[in-house]
Chains A and B, each alone.
Chain A
Amino acid sequence: MEIIMSVVIGFLFMAAVYLMLSKSLIRIIIGTGLLSHGAHLLLLTMGGLGGISPPVVADGVSVSDYADPLPQALILTAIVISFAVTSFFLVLAYRSYQELGTDNMDLLRGTEDHE
C-alpha cells in the first residue's frame, strides 16, 4: 500500500511541477494546489498506513494495532493552511488580472526600470 501511495505522491508532485512551470497564472495556482496535496499525502503515508483500531485505549487491542493519530492531526492543520493560502492566491490572481491586464507570467517579469 505504501508503494502505491508513493507512486501517487510522485505523480502529484510531477503534475504540480509541470503546471507551475507554465505561463498561465491559473495553471500555476492549480499546480500549487496539487503540490500541497502531494505533501499532505506524503505526511499521511510517512506515518505508516498500518493500524486497524482507532487510537483510543480499549481492552484486547495491542499497541501495534492502533492507527497513528499524529499524522492525521498534522494533515488537518496543513490542509486548513493550504486552503487559506490557495484562496488568498486566487483572490490575488484575480485582482492582479484586473489591475495588470494579464495573467501571463512572462509579461509580469518586471525590471527595475519600469514600474
Chain B
Amino acid sequence: MSNLLLFPIIIPLFFATVLMIFPKRLKLQRFLAATGAAATLIAALVLLAKVNAEGVQAVTLGSWPAPFGISMVSDPLSALLVVTTSIITLFVVFYSFPTIGVKREQSFYYPAVLFLMVGVNGAFTTGDIFNLFVFVEVLLMASYTLIVHGGEKPQLRESIKYLLVNIISSALFVAAVAFLYSVTGTLNMADLAVKIPQIEETGILTVIAVMFLVVFGFKAAIFPLYFWLPGSYYSPPVPILALFGALLTKVGVYAIMRTYTLFFTMNIAFTHELLGIIAILTILAGCVGALAYFDVKKIIIYNIIIAVGVILFGIAQLNQPGVDGSIFYLLHDMLIKAALFFLVGIVAVLFGTTDLRKMGGLIKTYPFLGWTYLVAAFGLAGIPPLSGFPGKLLIVQGGFEGPQFWGSIVILATSLIVLLSAVRIFIYAFWGEPVETVPLKKSVFNQMFIPTVILVAITVVFGVGAELFMPFISGAGEVLLNPSIYIDAVLKE
C-alpha cells in the first residue's frame, strides 16, 4: 500500500489547476508548466525505482478492499509508460516555447497539456476498467481542447470529425463495459482475471473481447478504424501533433495489451489470431499512406499507424520474445515519434511549407539538423544499434516462434518501406538544390533544436544501451505473461 503511484496523476492535475488562474502571465505559465512536468517526471522515476525494487504496487482508493474500491496498480509496464509519458510531455513543453505562439500560450495551452498528462498517466495506472474509461475521457477532453486550440479553419473542420469518432467509441466503451459487468459481475481488472477463467460460456466473452478490441482500436488506430487519424492529426500545430502522435494512440495500444494479456485469454485461438491479422493489415495500410504523400507531417503520421501494427503483432503472439519486444518497441516508438515530429516541425518552419517537393538543400545551411534527422530516421526504421532494432528483433522472433510466422516476414519487409518513407524526407529536404529558407533567429532555432537533440540522444541511448534497459522490459513482460503476479498484488492488499 503506497500512495506514490498516484503522484504522477496528482502533480500535473495540481499544476494544471493552478495555471488556469492566471492565463495571461506568460513567463509564470511557462515556468510552472515546465516545473509541473519535471516534478511529474521525478515522481515517475521514483515510482519506477520502487516498482523495480519491490514488485507491483497497488492502492485501492478510500481503503475499500480490492474488488470493491477502485484499484490503481503500477506494474513495471505502467511505470515505464508513465516515465516515458512524463519525459515526452516535458520536452513538448520546452519545444512549445518558441513554436506554439504567444496567443495560444495565453489561452490555456499549458493547462490543457498537463490535463492530457493527467489522463494519460491515469489510464496507464488504473486497475479498473471503468476507471480506465474515465481517465480516457479526461485525456480525450484535454485532446479536444488541444486539437481545436487556436481555432483555425482546418482545425475546426477536423476537430468535429475527431470529436464524433471519439464520442461513438466512448459510447461503445460504455456498452462493452455494461456487457462485461453483466457477465462477470465485476470491473476490477485483477478480479476479472480471476473470474473470467471460471466462466464456462466463452462464446459471449469472446464477443465482449472483440467489442473491446473495436473500442480500443478506435483510439489506437488499428486497420479498419484508423481512417480518422491522418486528417485529425494533420490540422493542429507541431507540438500538439507530437504530443498526440507520441501519447494518444499508445493509450489504446496499452489498453489492448493489458486486456488481451490479463483476462481476455479464454479463446486465444480466435481473439489473438484476429489481433495478429489486424495488426498486419494495419502495418500494410500505414505503409501505403507513408509512401503515398509528399507531405512531411503526413508521412510521419502514417508511420504512427505502422508502429501500432508492429506493437500489436508482438502482443498477439503472447510469447515471451513477442511481448518483451512489444513493450520495448512501444517505449521506443513514443520517444522516436515525438523526436521525429519535432524535427519535421523545424524543417517545416525553415521552409515555410510541409510539401517535400518545395524543399531542398538544407544540409548545406543546417548540417547538424540533417544528421540528427538521419539518426532519428534510422532509429525509426530499426537499423542496429538504434532503438527500433531490439524491439523489432524480439517481435519478429516472437512471430517465428508462434503460428503467425508470415506476419514476421511482413514486418521485416515493411521495415524497408518505413526506412524509405523516412529517408525520402531526408533526400528531398536535405539534399538537392538549396531552396531559400525562412530567416530564423539563431536563438529561436536553438530553442527548438536543443530539446529535439536531447530527445534523439535519449532514443540513441535507449537503443545502444538496450542491454541496460532489458531487465525493466523483461520484468514488465513477465507480469503481462503471468497474470497471477498482477492479481496477487491487487487482491492481497
Interface residues in chain A, defined as those with a beta carbon under 8 Å from any beta carbon in chain B: 20, 25, 28, 32, 35-36, 38-40, 42-43, 45-48, 70-71, 74, 77-78, 81-82, 84-85, 88-89, 92-93, 95-96, 99-100, 105, 108, 110, 112, 115
Contact = CB atoms under 8 A, between A and B. Distances in A.
The dominant DSSP class at the A interface is helix
Contact of A42 (B144, B148, B160, B174): B174
Contact of B130 (A40, A48, A74, A85): A74
Nearest to A17: B168
Interface in B349-380: none
B326 interface: no
B273 interface: no
Nearest to A102: B157
Given A36-B167, A84-B141, 18 more contacts: A32-B167, A39-B172, A39-B174, A39-B178, A43-B174, A74-B177, A77-B134, A88-B144, A92-B144, A92-B163, A95-B156, A100-B156, A108-B161, A110-B154, A110-B231, A112-B298, A115-B153, A115-B157
A77 B466 CA distance: 42
Given A36-B167, A88-B144, A71 B181 contact: yes
B175 A81 contact: no
A43 B178 contact: yes
Given A95-B151, A99-B151, A108-B157, A85 B141 contact: yes
Contacts of A81: 134, 137, 170
B167 A115 contact: no
A85 B134 contact: no
A71 B276 CA distance: 34
A47 B167 contact: no
Interface of B: 130, 133-134, 137, 140-141, 144, 148, 151, 153-154, 156-161, 163-164, 167-168, 170-172, 174-175, 177-179, 181-182, 187, 231, 234, 293, 295, 298
B60 to A, nearest CB: 15
Nearest to B161: A108
A110 to B, nearest CB: 5
The 5 A-B pairs with the shortest beta carbon distances in the complex, nearest first, are A46-B182, A46-B178, A39-B174, A43-B178, A96-B156
Nearest to B186: A70
7 contacts: A35-B168, A46-B182, A71-B181, A74-B181, A74-B187, A99-B153, A112-B293
Contact of B175 (A42, A93, A100, A115): A42
B171 A108 contact: no
Contacts of B137: 81, 85
A77 B159 CA distance: 24
A47 B186 CA distance: 10
Contacts of A96: 156-157, 160
Contacts of A70: 181, 187
Contact of A35 (B133, B140, B167, B178): B167
Contacts of A115: 153-154, 157
A107 to B, nearest CB: 9
Given A48-B182, A74-B130, A96-B157, A88 B141 contact: yes
Given A46-B179, A47-B182, A100-B156, A88 B163 contact: yes
B157 A100 contact: yes
A46 B144 CA distance: 30
Contacts of B174: 36, 39-40, 42-43, 78
A32 to B, nearest CB: 5
B161 to A, nearest CB: 8
A112 B231 CA distance: 9
Contacts of A43: 174-175, 177-178, 181
Contacts of B179: 46
B214 to A, nearest CB: 14
A110 B168 contact: no
Contacts of B177: 43, 74
Contact of A20 (B134, B141, B164, B295): B164
Task: Name which of B133, B141, B163 has the most chain A CB atoms within 10 A of its CB.
Answer: B163
A70 B141 CA distance: 24
Contacts of A47: 178, 181-182
Contact of B171 (A36, A84, A99, A112): A36
Task: Name which of B130, B144, B171, B175 has the most chain A CB atoms within 10 A of its CB.
Answer: B171
A45 B157 CA distance: 37
Contacts of A48: 182
Contacts of A78: 133, 174
